[in-house]
Amino acid sequence: MVKILEWCGCTVTFNKKQTCCGQPAYNAGFFPEACNVAEKFLADFDDPAYYVVAPSASCVGMIKKSYNDLFPNDPRIAELASRTFEFTEFLIDVLKVTAIPQAEFPARAVYHDSCSALRELGIKEGPRKLLASVKGLELVELPDSQQCCGFGGTFAVKFEAISSAMAAQKIERAMSTRAQYLISTDSSCLLHLQAYTHNAGFSLKTMHIIDVLASGW
Protein backbone atom coordinates (compact mmCIF):
# COMPACT_ATOMS: atom_id res chain seq x y z
CA MET A 1 0.00 0.00 0.00
CA VAL A 2 2.84 2.37 0.88
CA LYS A 3 4.59 1.55 -2.41
CA ILE A 4 1.53 2.51 -4.45
CA LEU A 5 0.70 5.62 -2.43
CA GLU A 6 4.26 6.91 -2.75
CA TRP A 7 4.16 6.30 -6.51
CA CYS A 8 1.00 8.43 -6.53
CA GLY A 9 2.95 11.25 -4.88
CA CYS A 10 1.81 10.82 -1.29
CA THR A 11 3.97 11.18 1.79
CA VAL A 12 3.06 8.22 3.97
CA THR A 13 3.48 8.07 7.74
CA PHE A 14 2.63 5.19 10.06
CA ASN A 15 1.72 5.69 13.71
CA LYS A 16 3.39 2.75 15.46
CA LYS A 17 1.26 3.32 18.57
CA GLN A 18 -2.01 2.72 16.74
CA THR A 19 -4.24 -0.19 17.71
CA CYS A 20 -7.64 -1.57 16.68
CA CYS A 21 -10.56 0.63 15.63
CA GLY A 22 -12.81 -1.20 18.10
CA GLN A 23 -14.96 -3.13 15.65
CA PRO A 24 -14.62 -6.63 17.25
CA ALA A 25 -15.88 -5.37 20.60
CA TYR A 26 -18.62 -3.31 18.94
CA ASN A 27 -19.87 -6.24 16.85
CA ALA A 28 -19.93 -8.45 19.94
CA GLY A 29 -22.06 -5.94 21.86
CA PHE A 30 -19.35 -4.77 24.26
CA PHE A 31 -20.01 -1.07 23.71
CA PRO A 32 -18.10 0.41 26.70
CA GLU A 33 -15.02 -1.59 25.70
CA ALA A 34 -15.47 -0.53 22.07
CA CYS A 35 -15.62 3.11 23.20
CA ASN A 36 -12.35 2.72 25.09
CA VAL A 37 -10.57 1.35 22.03
CA ALA A 38 -12.20 3.90 19.73
CA GLU A 39 -11.10 6.76 22.01
CA LYS A 40 -7.52 5.66 21.51
CA PHE A 41 -8.07 5.50 17.77
CA LEU A 42 -9.41 9.05 17.80
CA ALA A 43 -6.33 10.19 19.69
CA ASP A 44 -3.94 8.28 17.43
CA PHE A 45 -5.38 9.91 14.29
CA ASP A 46 -6.31 13.37 15.55
CA ASP A 47 -4.17 15.41 13.15
CA PRO A 48 -6.54 17.03 10.61
CA ALA A 49 -3.66 17.58 8.19
CA TYR A 50 -3.54 13.86 7.38
CA TYR A 51 -5.83 11.54 5.49
CA VAL A 52 -6.39 8.14 7.11
CA VAL A 53 -6.18 5.35 4.52
CA ALA A 54 -6.90 1.71 5.38
CA PRO A 55 -6.64 -1.50 3.35
CA SER A 56 -9.88 -2.69 4.95
CA ALA A 57 -13.36 -1.46 4.16
CA SER A 58 -14.69 -2.95 7.40
CA CYS A 59 -12.42 -0.72 9.49
CA VAL A 60 -13.39 2.32 7.45
CA GLY A 61 -17.07 1.42 7.76
CA MET A 62 -16.65 1.24 11.52
CA ILE A 63 -15.15 4.72 11.62
CA LYS A 64 -17.57 6.33 9.18
CA LYS A 65 -20.75 4.62 10.37
CA SER A 66 -20.53 2.91 13.75
CA TYR A 67 -18.55 5.58 15.58
CA ASN A 68 -21.69 7.71 15.33
CA ASP A 69 -23.47 5.12 17.47
CA LEU A 70 -20.70 5.09 20.07
CA PHE A 71 -20.26 8.87 20.16
CA PRO A 72 -23.53 10.55 19.11
CA ASN A 73 -23.25 14.22 18.18
CA ASP A 74 -19.49 14.21 18.73
CA PRO A 75 -17.86 16.63 16.23
CA ARG A 76 -14.65 14.56 16.27
CA ILE A 77 -16.42 11.75 14.44
CA ALA A 78 -17.55 13.80 11.45
CA GLU A 79 -14.10 15.37 11.16
CA LEU A 80 -12.30 12.03 11.21
CA ALA A 81 -14.83 10.40 8.88
CA SER A 82 -14.35 13.18 6.31
CA ARG A 83 -10.68 12.26 5.85
CA THR A 84 -10.84 8.49 6.30
CA PHE A 85 -10.92 6.30 3.19
CA GLU A 86 -10.64 2.71 2.07
CA PHE A 87 -7.57 2.33 -0.13
CA THR A 88 -9.23 2.02 -3.57
CA GLU A 89 -11.72 4.74 -2.64
CA PHE A 90 -8.83 7.04 -1.77
CA LEU A 91 -7.02 6.32 -5.05
CA ILE A 92 -10.04 7.01 -7.22
CA ASP A 93 -12.05 9.65 -5.34
CA VAL A 94 -9.26 11.69 -3.75
CA LEU A 95 -6.15 11.15 -5.90
CA LYS A 96 -8.14 10.66 -9.14
CA VAL A 97 -5.98 7.63 -9.99
CA THR A 98 -7.92 5.01 -11.95
CA ALA A 99 -5.01 2.85 -13.14
CA ILE A 100 -1.62 1.61 -12.02
CA PRO A 101 -0.09 1.26 -15.51
CA GLN A 102 3.02 -0.63 -14.42
CA ALA A 103 1.07 -3.33 -12.54
CA GLU A 104 1.35 -6.79 -14.09
CA PHE A 105 -0.28 -10.00 -12.85
CA PRO A 106 -0.82 -12.74 -15.47
CA ALA A 107 -3.71 -14.74 -14.07
CA ARG A 108 -7.45 -15.39 -14.32
CA ALA A 109 -9.35 -13.97 -11.37
CA VAL A 110 -12.71 -13.01 -9.93
CA TYR A 111 -13.48 -10.06 -7.67
CA HIS A 112 -15.51 -10.47 -4.47
CA ASP A 113 -17.50 -7.47 -3.19
CA SER A 114 -17.08 -7.41 0.57
CA CYS A 115 -20.19 -6.47 2.51
CA SER A 116 -18.44 -3.54 4.18
CA ALA A 117 -17.16 -2.11 0.90
CA LEU A 118 -20.38 -2.57 -1.05
CA ARG A 119 -23.09 -2.02 1.54
CA GLU A 120 -21.50 0.37 4.03
CA LEU A 121 -19.31 2.44 1.71
CA GLY A 122 -20.94 1.99 -1.71
CA ILE A 123 -17.69 0.80 -3.32
CA LYS A 124 -18.32 -1.29 -6.42
CA GLU A 125 -16.93 -0.07 -9.75
CA GLY A 126 -13.70 1.48 -8.44
CA PRO A 127 -11.82 -1.74 -7.63
CA ARG A 128 -12.90 -3.28 -10.94
CA LYS A 129 -11.64 -0.22 -12.81
CA LEU A 130 -8.24 -0.48 -11.10
CA LEU A 131 -7.99 -4.20 -11.80
CA ALA A 132 -8.88 -3.66 -15.46
CA SER A 133 -5.62 -1.73 -15.86
CA VAL A 134 -3.42 -4.61 -14.66
CA LYS A 135 -1.43 -6.17 -17.51
CA GLY A 136 -2.08 -9.86 -18.02
CA LEU A 137 -4.98 -10.03 -15.57
CA GLU A 138 -8.11 -11.64 -16.96
CA LEU A 139 -10.90 -10.49 -14.67
CA VAL A 140 -14.14 -12.44 -14.98
CA GLU A 141 -17.31 -11.57 -13.12
CA LEU A 142 -18.03 -13.70 -10.07
CA PRO A 143 -21.65 -15.01 -10.07
CA ASP A 144 -23.53 -13.26 -7.25
CA SER A 145 -20.37 -11.37 -6.32
CA GLN A 146 -22.36 -9.19 -3.92
CA GLN A 147 -23.37 -12.15 -1.74
CA CYS A 148 -21.73 -12.35 1.70
CA CYS A 149 -18.83 -14.78 2.08
CA GLY A 150 -20.04 -15.83 5.53
CA PHE A 151 -17.34 -14.28 7.70
CA GLY A 152 -19.12 -11.36 9.35
CA GLY A 153 -16.71 -11.06 12.27
CA THR A 154 -18.13 -12.85 15.30
CA PHE A 155 -20.83 -14.38 13.08
CA ALA A 156 -18.24 -16.90 11.87
CA VAL A 157 -17.64 -17.99 15.47
CA LYS A 158 -21.23 -17.97 16.71
CA PHE A 159 -22.69 -19.63 13.63
CA GLU A 160 -19.82 -21.72 12.31
CA ALA A 161 -21.91 -24.14 10.24
CA ILE A 162 -23.81 -21.37 8.44
CA SER A 163 -20.61 -19.37 7.93
CA SER A 164 -18.81 -22.37 6.43
CA ALA A 165 -21.74 -23.15 4.13
CA MET A 166 -21.73 -19.59 2.83
CA ALA A 167 -17.98 -19.80 2.21
CA ALA A 168 -18.47 -23.07 0.34
CA GLN A 169 -21.08 -21.48 -1.90
CA LYS A 170 -18.82 -18.50 -2.63
CA ILE A 171 -15.86 -20.73 -3.47
CA GLU A 172 -17.94 -23.04 -5.68
CA ARG A 173 -19.12 -20.05 -7.71
CA ALA A 174 -15.58 -18.74 -8.03
CA MET A 175 -14.26 -22.11 -9.18
CA SER A 176 -17.07 -22.39 -11.75
CA THR A 177 -15.39 -19.52 -13.62
CA ARG A 178 -12.06 -21.42 -13.75
CA ALA A 179 -10.43 -18.54 -11.86
CA GLN A 180 -7.04 -19.04 -10.26
CA TYR A 181 -7.48 -16.19 -7.79
CA LEU A 182 -10.26 -14.54 -5.81
CA ILE A 183 -9.49 -10.86 -5.18
CA SER A 184 -11.11 -8.54 -2.64
CA THR A 185 -10.56 -5.34 -0.65
CA ASP A 186 -10.97 -6.96 2.76
CA SER A 187 -8.48 -9.22 4.50
CA SER A 188 -11.21 -10.63 6.73
CA CYS A 189 -13.12 -12.04 3.74
CA LEU A 190 -9.89 -13.32 2.21
CA LEU A 191 -8.78 -14.98 5.45
CA HIS A 192 -12.12 -16.75 5.78
CA LEU A 193 -12.25 -17.93 2.17
CA GLN A 194 -8.59 -18.96 2.01
CA ALA A 195 -9.05 -21.06 5.14
CA TYR A 196 -11.97 -22.85 3.49
CA THR A 197 -10.12 -23.53 0.22
CA HIS A 198 -7.03 -24.71 2.12
CA ASN A 199 -9.03 -27.13 4.27
CA ALA A 200 -10.92 -28.39 1.22
CA GLY A 201 -7.72 -28.90 -0.77
CA PHE A 202 -8.72 -26.55 -3.60
CA SER A 203 -6.15 -24.76 -5.75
CA LEU A 204 -8.00 -21.40 -5.75
CA LYS A 205 -5.99 -18.68 -3.99
CA THR A 206 -7.12 -15.42 -2.43
CA MET A 207 -5.32 -12.13 -2.88
CA HIS A 208 -5.79 -8.58 -1.65
CA ILE A 209 -6.31 -6.04 -4.42
CA ILE A 210 -3.33 -4.03 -3.16
CA ASP A 211 -0.99 -6.99 -3.69
CA VAL A 212 -2.29 -7.33 -7.25
CA LEU A 213 -1.78 -3.63 -8.00
CA ALA A 214 1.73 -3.77 -6.50
CA SER A 215 2.78 -6.79 -8.57
CA GLY A 216 5.18 -6.69 -11.48
CA TRP A 217 6.99 -3.45 -10.69
Question: Is residue 150 scored above 90 in pLDDT?
Answer: no
pLDDT (tens digit per residue) in 49-65? 999 999 999 999 999 99
Cβ atoms of 132 and 101 within 8 Å: the answer is no
Within 10 Å of residue 138's Cβ, how many Cβ atoms? 13
Q: How confident is the model at residue 160 (pLDDT cuts 50, 70, 90)?
A: confident
pLDDT (tens digit per residue) in 7-21? 999 999 999 999 999
pLDDT (tens digit per residue) in 89-147? 999 999 999 999 999 999 999 999 999 999 999 999 999 999 999 999 999 999 988 88
Cβ atoms of 153 and 27 within 8 Å: the answer is yes
Segment 36-41 mean pLDDT? 97
Give me the pLDDT at residue 80, please.
97
Residue type, 42: L
* Burial profile 187-198: b = 16 or more Cβ within 10 angstroms, e = fewer: bbbbebbbebbe
Question: Is residue 154 scored above 90 in pLDDT?
Answer: no
Segment 157-176 mean pLDDT? 90
Residue type, 21: C
Question: Is residue 22 scored above 90 in pLDDT?
Answer: yes
Question: Is residue 153 scored above 90 in pLDDT?
Answer: no
Give me the pLDDT at residue 155, please.
82
Segment 197-217 mean pLDDT? 95
Give me the pLDDT at residue 3, please.
96
Give me the pLDDT at residue 158, please.
84
For the chain, domains (ranges, CATH) are: 2-93 (no CATH), 104-213 (3.40.50.11810)
Beta-carbon-side half-sphere exposure of residue 89 (alpha carbons within 13 Å): 25
Segment 59-83 mean pLDDT? 95
Give me the pLDDT at residue 6, please.
97
